[in-house]
């Protein structure tokens, strides 16, 4: 599947119109945030990115804007160029970070995964080292469990998109197994919430920033480690192991399994 497709320009609020005028629009086909995401290109200038939300995802977009503004004091994140609310809709316009996503790089050069794993781990340690007392946002597993159950009860969980380990299972089955294997303790750090290869920008084998920040908040460190481990394992478990070694933590199968199951609901 093409990761984006060219489209005609979309109407935006008057306050953003001048910023996006004269640009070529591309619709992202990969992101699963629930919002529509567009890349806006113009020759000789950096791309802009516009995320649009309707009534059902408006609060998610507001959450992401607030987290982006807060995290910018600690890590490189996209610059915020504009934000608008109009009726039941929301629009967030950001600039681009340099580089390419870690996934794009590894898709072309999969053998580079073990070497890149160290850079990914070091950036994650920077994030997890932000003082918890400074973070105003919670992404606690109890909150995520409540949201997961709401999505399951509403029939919003995409069971046909489950990972191979849970292929053919129902959301109810995954929920039951997840609850039965709940870890006894969680270690609170500032987490990204979706620390995957698509959300990390790389230049010269170094991670230079992160995107898609709507889930940032205090949670167990394995929320991020599990998603990154799973993303790297696509390119070989050696890469996933190298990431854990560079981060400085041993594999915790119980927490890995719990967080991967929980992520199936989102």
Instruction: Return the domain boundaries, the chain.
Output: 4-95, 100-263
Query: In the structure, what pLDDT confidence band is assigned to residue 34 with cuts at 50, 70 and 90?
Result: confident
Q: Tell me what pLDDT residue 33 has.
A: 60
Domain 100-263 is of which CATH architecture?
Alpha-Beta Complex (3.90)
Residues noted as catalytic: 194
Domain 4-95 carries which CATH code?
3.30.200.20
User: What is the distance between the terminal CA atoms of the chain, rounded to a whole angstrom?
Assistant: 21
| pLDDT tens digits along 171-214 | 999 999 998 889 989 999 999 999 999 999 999 999 999 999 99
Q: Tell me what pLDDT residue 220 has.
A: 97
pTM of the model: 0.91
Beta-carbon contacts of residue 69 (< 8 Å; ≥ 6 apart) = 80
**How many Å apart are CA 12 and CA 18, to the nearest integer?**
10
Calculate ∠ Cα 151-266-27, nearest 5°: 115
b or e along 91-103 (b: 16 or more beta carbons within 10 Å of the residue's beta carbon)?
bbbbebbebebbb
Query: In the structure, what pLDDT confidence band is assigned to residue 127 with cuts at 50, 70 and 90?
Result: very high
Kindly report the number of other CB atoms within 10 A of residue 90's CB atom: 24
| Nearest partner of 121 among 230, 249, 238, 216, judged by Cα | 249
């Amino acid at each position: 599947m093409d990761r984006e497709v060219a489209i005609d320009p979309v109407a935006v609020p008057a306050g953003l119109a001048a910023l996006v005028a004269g640009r070529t629009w591309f619709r992202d086909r990969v992101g699963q945030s629930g919002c529509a995401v567009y890349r806006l290109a113009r020759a000789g200038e950096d791309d802009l990115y516009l995320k649009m939300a309707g009534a059902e995802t408006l609060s998610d977009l507001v959450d992401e804007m607030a987290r982006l503004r807060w995290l910018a004091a600690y890590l490189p994140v996209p610059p915020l160029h504009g934000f608008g609310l109009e009726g039941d809709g929301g629009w967030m316009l950001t600039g681009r970070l340099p580089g390419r996503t870690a996934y794009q790089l590894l898709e072309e050069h999969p053998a580079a995964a073990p070497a890149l794993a160290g850079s990914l781990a070091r950036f994650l340690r920077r994030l997890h080292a932000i003082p918890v007392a400074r973070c105003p946002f919670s992404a606690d597993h109890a909150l995520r469990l409540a949201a997961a159950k709401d999505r399951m009860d509403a029939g919003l969980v995409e069971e046909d998109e489950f990972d191979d380990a849970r292929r053919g299972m129902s959301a109810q089955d995954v929920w039951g197994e997840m609850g039965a294997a709940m870890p006894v303790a969680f270690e609170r750090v500032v987490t990204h919430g979706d620390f995957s290869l698509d959300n990390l920008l790389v230049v010269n084998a170094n991670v230079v920033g992160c995107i898609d920040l709507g889930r940032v908040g205090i949670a167990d460190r394995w929320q991020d480690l599990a998603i990154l481990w799973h993303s790297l394992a696509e390119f070989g478990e050696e890469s996933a192991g190298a990431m854990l070694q560079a981060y400085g933590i041993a594999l915790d199968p119980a927490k890995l399994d719990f967080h991967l199951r929980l992520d199936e609901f989102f």
